[in-house]
Structure 1
């Protein structure tokens, strides 16, 4: 039996998240521990897994802060090195009102880039069931060599290899090189977690399902999980494809770490169930749990120290399952009908979603409704608690296709 369930290699840095503006108009930031690999490990620790990290920080007060924070999460940091010349890497995160973000990195160089082959303790990987990495540990030659040494060792020793590209375009001088490193990762991994924008970047396909099928054909990961933000996720495993809706949070404040939280939940499921002979039902359970966990983290600032407890995730899932769900076909072929429909459902205490093969939109959003093809019948999903469904259907009866 391995000492660690998951070992990860990569960046560890300070995310400075914009907090407020002071009385003189100056921006104020909170220093949050960050870096995708450690975010993944922190969530795994919450789920009861044993984890270890391999990386590098500066021999400075920020590096010590990161080391202590990571260790406090229960993550083994015996593989964390210090650099005496290069300071700890910094990232400034600007969150928009909808919770999305943009980044400014101070990493030219940063300590995480200075990880070398000599810094990598291969025994940590040898004592792990899963080895996880991303592309940010391949932006420069030294750290790329260290990463590939670790991957080669994991491969030769029969470890499950997990990869999340985690594309950050500002960190690449040449995006073709970024694409090349993504392709390398996809060619060596058993588990791939990739976002919708990364799929389009690497395949040129805006249709997510088409894109992941191209990736499967080219690179053959055993399990591919595609994340689509609030629209949920897709799993492709052999000939089985499963798609699950996201858990939309009204109080989203920060999407940093949502993908990492999702990734951790996928790895936890593999730790529990293995990677062989997974069924459609198992993949559905995996995605629902991962989607729920990822949605909770978006309601909190930062990620590494804010990961949800298992009980919180299960409670959110139970709440959704307790709802009464009903689907009907509706016709909204004119501008006037759209306006009357949105006005009719706006005051109702239920969730309304219009769906087609590619998209899901909030039916209470008039702009969202107008983005759909109104020349065709639309599928409306209604989620409500209790036994109010008959009353709701009466309110929208004129729009329903009998």
Structure 2
């Protein structure tokens, strides 16, 4: 059985990215491999780690393209189901004046939620170092719910790490769904969320108080990402605020996923000792994750522009940090 650093159940989709207009005035869109889960697993592989994806794509040209792309990228795709019962999901992406991406309201229905227990290789789960919980795990009416519950049970039995990236897209949740998401965030070993997500899910505008609350529960490592302002990383030994690198930003689509991938890459090499990391070690981890995230914004794309180890080191050595925005 192949040992894998990180296994994740989640989305592998197409981003249809706006690229201008034709001579006739029609919009042009470029097909790009994407999805938060696909992006973070790609980031891990780019850094020299190993990753495996569990998901469902359609038995169509787009699904086959994504399957082959992920496979050629080095991601283990033995858990990817190609199904004739769904159509591969896609989203349409545009950019604002700061090159921050935003999604059009149109989007096809999710396919990862159709992934059931039968798609899961539990031997691989047992041999992995970490599992990333998908944000749609709470859909009790979908096969993904039973699959996630069983995976989490197995990971806990093996003393593996559980990670969660909150990845809120502005959608509304029922009270039951909010409770499920908050419970998952509070009991994961590693949780990443933005300052906006911290307020949305936990009602906390104060980043220090909110991150402290998460650490007081069962979290071993909490990352609050702040976009162009950097990040705050906290465990039970303390916290560090780290500004990011002053790169020329072209496309922020995969920046948060790159950060999460880099964070998991480092955390899986620390094991369960991540809650004992010193503040200096937290600073090093935050700086590296920031470098990967910043590196991913220098080109257009998602899965295909995740940062290599060589590029991350170059950024840390050659690109200055931005001026701190927060006075923590």
| Structure 2: distance between partners of 1:55 and 1:97 | 34
**Deviation at residue 181 of structure 1 after TM alignment:** 3.4
Which among 342, 357, 360 is matched to residue 327 of structure 2? Answer: 357
SS at 2:232's partner residue?
strand
2:258 paired with 1:257:
no
Most deviating of 148-157 and 66-75: 148-157
Work out whether residues 194 and 226 of structure 1, in 8 Å CA contact, stay in contact via their aligned partners in 2.
yes
Asked if the contact 1:79–1:124 (Cα under 8 Å) also holds between the matched residues in 2, the reply is: no
Q: Which has the larger radius of gyration?
A: 1
1:5-84 alignment runs, 5 A limit:
5-84=5-84
Higher alpha-carbon deviation: 94-103 or 33-42 = 94-103
- Cα distance, 1:146 vs structure 2: 1.9
Distance 1:176 1:28 in 2: 40
Instruction: Please give the secondary structure, in 1, of the residue aligned with 2:57.
Output: strand
Alpha-carbon distance in 1 for matches of 2:11, 2:139: 11
Which position in structure 2 is the counterpart of 1:370? Answer: none
Count of residue pairs brought into register by the alignment: 325
C-alpha spacing 1:87/1:239, structure 2 compared with 1 (3 Å): same
1:176 and 1:7 map into 2 onto residues whose CA distance is 29
Could you tell me how far 1:177 is from its partner in structure 2? 4.8
2:186 pairs with 1:216: no
Q: Is the 8 A contact 2:15 2:31 kept in 1?
A: yes
Q: Distance in 2 between matches of 1:133 and 1:290?
A: 20
Give the 3 Å change call, closer, same or farther, for CA 258–356 of structure 1 in structure 2: closer
State how far apart, in whole Å, the 2-side matches of 1:209 and 1:134 are: 25
Partner residue in 2 for 1:293: 292
Separation in 1, partners of 2:141, 2:68: 28
Deviates more, 1:257-266 or 1:130-139: 130-139
* Conserved? CA contact 1:187–1:220, under 8 Å: yes
**Residue 400 of structure 1 aligns with which residue?**
none
* Counterpart check, 1:165 vs 2:166: yes
Q: In the alignment, is residue 266 of structure 1 matched against residue 260 of structure 2? A: no
Residue in 2 that maps onto 1:189? 188
Taking structure 1 as reference, are residues 52 and 314 closer, same or farther at Cα in structure 2, changes over 3 Å only?
Answer: same
1:295–1:278 Cα change, 3 Å: same
Q: Does 1:305 align with 2:317?
A: no
The answer to whether the Cα contact below 8 Å between 2:225 and 2:231 also exists between their aligned partners in 1 is yes
Q: CA deviation at 1:313?
A: 1.1
Residue 25 of structure 1 and its aligned partner are, at CA, apart by: 1.9
Higher relative contact order (CA 8 A, sep 6+): 2
* Equivalences for residues 123-272 of structure 1 within 5 A: 123-139=123-139, 141-142=141-142, 143-170=144-171, 172=172, 174=173, 176-217=175-216, 219-249=217-247, 251-272=248-269
Look up the SS of the partner of 2:291 in the other structure: helix
Alignment CA distance shift 1:169-1:28 (3 Å): same
Shift of 1:284: 0.7
CA distance in 2 between counterparts of 1:221 and 1:301 reads 34
Provide the C-alpha distance between the structure 1 equivalents of 2:6 and 2:83, rounded to a whole number of angstroms. 25
Q: Distance in 2 between matches of 1:117 and 1:308?
A: 32
**Maintained 8 Å contact 2:249/2:297:** yes
Unaligned stretches of 5+ in structure 2? none
Rounded to whole Å, the distance in 2 between the matches of 1:176 and 1:77 is 35
Structure 1's 107 and 113: CA in aligned 2 closer, same or farther, altered over 3 A? farther
Q: Deviations over 1:352-389 (max 9, x none)?
A: x475526xxxxxxxxxxxxxxxxxxxxxxxxxxxxxxx
